[in-house]
Chains A and B, each alone.
Chain A
Amino acid sequence: MKKKIALLLCITMTAMGIIGCGNSEESLATKGGSASKQSVVTIWHDGDDSIMQVIENGVNEALESDGILVKFEKKSGLTDQMKLYGNDEANGPDMYLYAHDSLGTFVEMGILAPLTDVIEESDYSDMLPMTIQAGNYKNTQYLLPVYFETLLFLYNKDLWEGEVPSTTEELFSYMESHTDTASGQYALVNQHSTAYNVAPFINGFGGYIINEQSVPGLNDEKTLEAIEYNKKFAALEADGDYNTVNTLFNEGKAAAIIGGPWLIAGIKEAKINYGIKSLSDFTLPNQNALSPYSGVQAIGIMKYAVENKKEALGKVLKEIANPQIGIELALNSGCAPANQISYDYTEVAKDEMIVAMRRTADTAKPMPNVPEMSVMWGPIESLLAAVNKSGQDTKEAASEYQKQAETAIQDMK
C-alpha cells in the first residue's frame, strides 16, 4: 500500500512538473473571450509604472467610446522578453514602449512593422526632430516617440560659488580651484568612464562611438581628442562610479553633477537646493556645444498585431501622439514630451528641468539605434576606464579597443 502511495505521489509530482511548464489553456481562452467584447491593446514596457499609468488613463479615457482598452504590462529585461515573444502572437504584446536604442535589433529580428502601416506621417509631424530621428532605422520610421531623457548639469545652489560658467574651460578652472580629492570635496562629479556620460564631449568634438554604417569610431581622431579632453576632468571627478557620484552630490560633497532626470527624486529627498543648466549651454574649446546622447522612450508595433488590430492600434497611437498626453506626462511624471506642442502649455514651460531638456534636445543626438551598438558599450567603456582609471595611453588603448569592437561586430554575424 505504502509503495502504491509513493508511486502515485511520484507520478503526480512528475505530471505536475510537466503541466506547470505548459501553456494555460484557460488563460488563452480568457484572453480570446475578453478580446471579442472589446479590443484590448497590450503594450509591454520596462519603465516606471506611474508614467505608464498616465498614458494608459489618457488613452483609455479618449477611446472608451471606440471599445478600445489599452493595457500596459511591465516586463523586466524587455529586450530578452521581446526576443522570446516578439513573433509569438499568443503570448507577445501588440506594441512595446522602450528606449529607442534597441530598435535596430528588433527590426533585424523581423518582428516590427513600420509606423506608417498604421498611421500617417502627418500624425507625428509635431514631434521633435531628434526624437523622430531616434525611431528611424534604415530610412523607415518604426517608432512613435513619447518622451525623452538626456543629461543635464545639476548643481547645488548652496555650494556653487558665483555663476555657472558657459564654457567647459571656465568650468575646468572652477573645478581646479574648488576640488580637494584628498578630503573628498568636489566641484563637479560625473560618471567619467561611462560612455553615455562622456558622449557630450565625444559628440561635441565631432567624434563618434559608432556611425550609421555601423563602423566603430573609437580610434577616430576627433573621438581621441574628446577622450583626452575628458581625461583632465575625470581626474577631478572622483571614481566615476554611479553610486559614488550620486552619493557625493546628495551628501553635499560635490557642488555639481552631470546626470539625468532620474536623479531628481533622490536629490529632492536629500533636500538639496538644486539648479539645472542645459549641457547645450556649455561651449567646448572648438566652439561647439556639449552634445549629449538622448534616450527616447518610444512605441513600436509588432508585425502580427498589424494584421489583426490595425485600426485599434492606429487609434491608440494617434491618442498617444496627442500633445495632451505629453502635457500630462510633463506635469505628473516630470517627463520631457516628444511632442513640441506640449511645451506651449504654460505650466510645462515653467518647469525648469523640462525646459532644460527641451533646450538640450536641440544639440543632443539620439543614441545610435543600429544593432551593433549593443556590442559597443563594452569596448568604449573599457577604453574610457583604461585611460581614466588605469592611466593607459589614449591612442594605444583606442587602437586596442577599436580592434575589440570590430571583432565583436564580426561575431554578431
Chain B
Amino acid sequence: MKKKNGTLPWRFSLPSMVLITMIIIFPIAFTLYISFTNMNLYHWDDYRFIGMNNYIRALTKIDSGFLSAIVTTIIWTVLNMVLQIVISFFIALGLNIKGLKLGRLYKTLLMFPWAMPAYISILLWRVGMYNTEYGLLNKFITAIGLPKVEFLSENIPAFFSCMVLNLWMALPFLIMMMDGALQSVDHSYYESAKLDGAGWWARNIYITIPCIWPIIAPAIIMTTFTTFKQFDIIYLLTMQKGSLTGATLNTVITYAYQNAFVSNNYGLSSAVSIVIFGFIIFFSLFINRGIKGENI
C-alpha cells in the first residue's frame, strides 16, 4: 500500500511545485546569475560574466549610511513588534470578554485597515492625517492655538509617524490571530485557577499566554519579517519621488533601493538583492531557533 502511494503525494503536489519553481525559484536563480554579470544600461545585450565584482561593490556599500539603516531597521522591528504584540493581546482580550455587546461589529471595524490596499492607506494617512494644510492632526493642533507641525520633515517625528501607521495597518492581523487563539483556550483552566485564588494577571501569564503561544508564534514570525522588510510605509510617506518630505529615514530595504535599484545596473542591483536575501535567511534561521528553543 505504502509502495503503491509512494509517488502519489509528489504527483499531486507537482502543479504547485512547477508554479513555485517558475514564480519563486526561477527569479531567484536568475537574479543570482545576473549578479555575476555586468548587465547594465551600457551592456544591455552584450553582458558577460565578471565573477564576484558586483559582490565586492555591494559590500563596499556597507558604509555609515548602511550601518545606520541597519540600526534603524532593528529599532523599527523591535519597537513595532513589542507594541503590536502587547496592543493586539489586550484588544483580543477585550474582544473576548463575556457578554461584550456588538463584538462582531468591533471585529469588523478592527479588520478594516487590513482590508484596505496598503498604497491607499498610506496616501490617506499622508494627506488625511499628517498633511500640514489638510491633515486631521494639524487641524486639532491649530484649533487649540498651536503652530502647525510638520510630522514628516524630521527623522524622529517621521519615524514615529511611520510607526503609528504601521501599527494601524498591521494590528488587525495579530488581533485576529490572538482572538482565534483565545477562543481555543479551555475555560475550565480559568475556573480551576480562580478556585486556587489566581488573579487576572496570573491567569493571563500562566494560562492564556502559554496556551495561545503555539498558535500565535507563527503569526509573530510572519509579522516580524513583514515589519523587518517594510518598504511601502517609509517610502510612500517620506521618500516618494517628487514628494520628498525632508526626512532621511532609511531601513535596510529603502537604503538598498535608493543606492542600488535606481541605477539601471542590474548586475549590481542583483548582487545587493542576493546579499539582502542572505541577510533575511540568516535572520529567519536565528528567529526560528529562538522560538524552537522556547518551545523546548
Interface stretch (choices B94-102, B163-171, B263-271): B263-271
Q: How far is the CB of A82 from chain B (nearest CB, A)?
A: 11
Answer yes or no: B229 CB below 8 A from chain A CBs: no
A182 touches B147 (CB 8 A): yes
- Complex alpha-carbon distance, A194 and B19, angstroms: 43
For A384, the closest partner residue in chain B by CB is B244
For A191, the closest partner residue in chain B by CB is B242
Q: How far is the CB of A17 from chain B (nearest CB, A)?
A: 6
B244 touches A381 (CB 8 A): yes
> Within A1-44, which residues are at the interface with B (CB < 8 Å)?
3, 6-7, 10-11, 13-14, 17-18, 21
B19 touches A17 (CB 8 A): yes
Answer yes or no: B252 CB below 8 A from chain A CBs: no
- Complex alpha-carbon distance, A184 and B243, angstroms: 20
Answer yes or no: B154 CB below 8 A from chain A CBs: yes
A193 touches B244 (CB 8 A): yes
- Complex alpha-carbon distance, A147 and B22, angstroms: 43
Q: A17-B19, A389-B150 in contact; A381/B242 too (CB < 8 A)?
A: yes
Q: A412-B41, A413-B40 in contact; A17/B259 too (CB < 8 A)?
A: no
Q: How far is the CB of B237 from chain A (nearest CB, A)?
A: 12
B42 touches A375 (CB 8 A): no
- Complex alpha-carbon distance, A11 and B262, angstroms: 41
> Within B14-48, which residues are at the interface with A (CB < 8 Å)?
14-15, 18-19, 22, 40-42, 44-45
Residues from chain B with a CB closer than 8 A to the CB of A339 are none
- Complex alpha-carbon distance, A105 and B262, angstroms: 13
B245 touches A385 (CB 8 A): yes
A411 touches B18 (CB 8 A): no
Residues from chain B with a CB closer than 8 A to the CB of A377 are 241-242
A109 touches B131 (CB 8 A): no
B245 touches A14 (CB 8 A): no
8 Å CB contact of B264 from A196, A374, A381: A374
B134 touches A244 (CB 8 A): yes
8 Å CB contact of A194 from B148, B242, B247: B242
Q: How far is the CB of A260 from chain B (nearest CB, A)?
A: 13
> Within B186-224, which residues are at the interface with A (CB < 8 Å)?
none
A413 touches B18 (CB 8 A): no
> Within B231-282, which residues are at the interface with A (CB < 8 Å)?
241-248, 258-260, 262-265, 268
Answer yes or no: B72 CB below 8 A from chain A CBs: no
A110 touches B44 (CB 8 A): yes
Residues from chain A with a CB closer than 8 A to the CB of B268 are 411
B133 touches A408 (CB 8 A): no
Q: A105-B41, A109-B41 in contact; A385/B133 too (CB < 8 A)?
A: no
Q: How far is the CB of A92 from chain B (nearest CB, A)?
A: 14
A241 touches B262 (CB 8 A): no
A18 touches B246 (CB 8 A): no
A interface, how many residues as a size bin?
35 or more
B11 touches A7 (CB 8 A): yes
Q: A239-B131, A381-B242 in contact; A374/B15 too (CB < 8 A)?
A: no
Q: How far is the CB of A52 from chain B (nearest CB, A)?
A: 24
- Complex alpha-carbon distance, A13 and B131, angstroms: 49
B265 touches A412 (CB 8 A): yes
A17 touches B154 (CB 8 A): no
Residues from chain B with a CB closer than 8 A to the CB of A196 are 242
Q: How far is the CB of B13 from chain A (nearest CB, A)?
A: 9
Nearest first, the 3 closest Cβ-Cβ pairs linking A and B are A389-B246, A390-B246, A385-B244
Q: List 27 contacting pairs A-B, 8 Å CB cutoff, sorted by A.
A: A3-B8, A6-B12, A11-B15, A14-B14, A14-B15, A14-B18, A18-B22, A83-B44, A105-B41, A108-B44, A182-B147, A182-B148, A191-B242, A239-B133, A239-B150, A242-B243, A247-B133, A371-B41, A381-B241, A386-B248, A389-B246, A390-B154, A390-B247, A408-B263, A411-B57, A411-B259, A411-B268
User: A residues near B, CB below 8 A?
Assistant: 3, 6-7, 10-11, 13-14, 17-18, 21, 83, 87, 105, 108-111, 181-182, 184, 191, 193-194, 196, 238-239, 241-244, 247-248, 253, 371, 374-375, 377-378, 381-382, 384-386, 388-390, 407-408, 411-413
User: B residues near A, CB below 8 A?
Assistant: 8, 11-12, 14-15, 18-19, 22, 40-42, 44-45, 57, 127, 131-134, 142, 147-148, 150, 153-154, 241-248, 258-260, 262-265, 268
Given A196-B242, A244-B132, A378-B258, 15 extra CB contacts under 8 A? A6-B12, A18-B22, A105-B264, A111-B44, A193-B244, A243-B127, A244-B127, A371-B264, A377-B241, A381-B241, A385-B244, A389-B244, A411-B263, A411-B268, A412-B264
